[in-house]
Amino acid sequence: MDKLIDDEILVKQFQSGSQRAFDELMKRYERKIFGYLLRSVRNYEDAEELTLEVFFKAFRALAKWEPKAKFSTWLYTIASNLSIDYHRTKTRHPVYVLEDEDVLETRVVANDLSSNPEKQIEDMERGRIIREAVDELSSKQKEVFMLTRYEGLPIREVAETLGMAEGTVKIHLHRAMKKLQTLLRPLMENNEI
């Protein structure tokens, strides 16, 4: 059965009183929303807290929700708005995170026990360099890049999630890719990426 239909059926079941339907929706999207928020806020605990807040907001609003867009698009919109609020708050009240970003990455991704430790270190360093380059993007470019490249959302859904025209999303994505190519070119030429 099509996932969109599945989501809509689960929403209708929830609206009819089935708590299990919401549990299934949460199980289906929790890791994706958490991954998106972790890449955005770069703090494991804050990403966990924001993920819970996304589903809390969804739970409260879902009784009246009408499918104008895909359910997943609606969830990413909530997550995106919370991420924006988080960054606004943090710029006013900076919080110092003692945890190394590489430690955060290893918490989220399971390691293959038979893999080469040197390769893991190289991969972690490559990931750090790419994250730093992504952080150089404007906030809109970064959001568009993360939703299209990390979350795999099509342009149409990104436009709906961020409340932009599809053409605007394409422009932000194009500019993000050009900037990343410029930032990462020296590393690509040295085969470091």
Write the single-letter amino acid at 71. Answer: F
Cα separation of 122 and 128, whole Å? 10
Q: Is 140 exposed, middle or buried (0-12, 13-18, 19+ CB in 10 A)?
A: middle
Cα separation of 51 and 154, whole Å? 22
Tokens of 170: 């394409």
pLDDT at 110: 46
Fold classification of 111-193 (topology level): Arc Repressor Mutant, subunit A (1.10.10)
pLDDT at 193: 57
H/E element holding 62?
none
Question: Is residue 36 a contact partner of residue 79, using CB atoms and an 8 Å limit?
Answer: yes
pTM (whole model) above 0.75: no
pLDDT at 105: 47
Residue boundaries of the structural domains of the chain:
1-110, 111-193
pLDDT at 116: 67
Question: Is residue 53 a contact partner of residue 82, using CB atoms and an 8 Å limit?
Answer: yes
Radius of gyration of the chain (CA): 18
| Residue found by looking up tokens 């991969």 in the block | 123
Cα separation of 150 and 6, whole Å? 23
Which pLDDT tens digit goes with each residue over 78-130? 999 999 899 888 765 544 444 444 444 444 444 444 556 777 777 777 778 88
**pLDDT grade, residue 36 (50/70/90)?**
very high
Is the domain spanning 1-110 CATH 1.10.1740.10? The answer is: yes
Contacts of 70 (CB under 8 A, 6+ apart): 4, 7, 157, 160
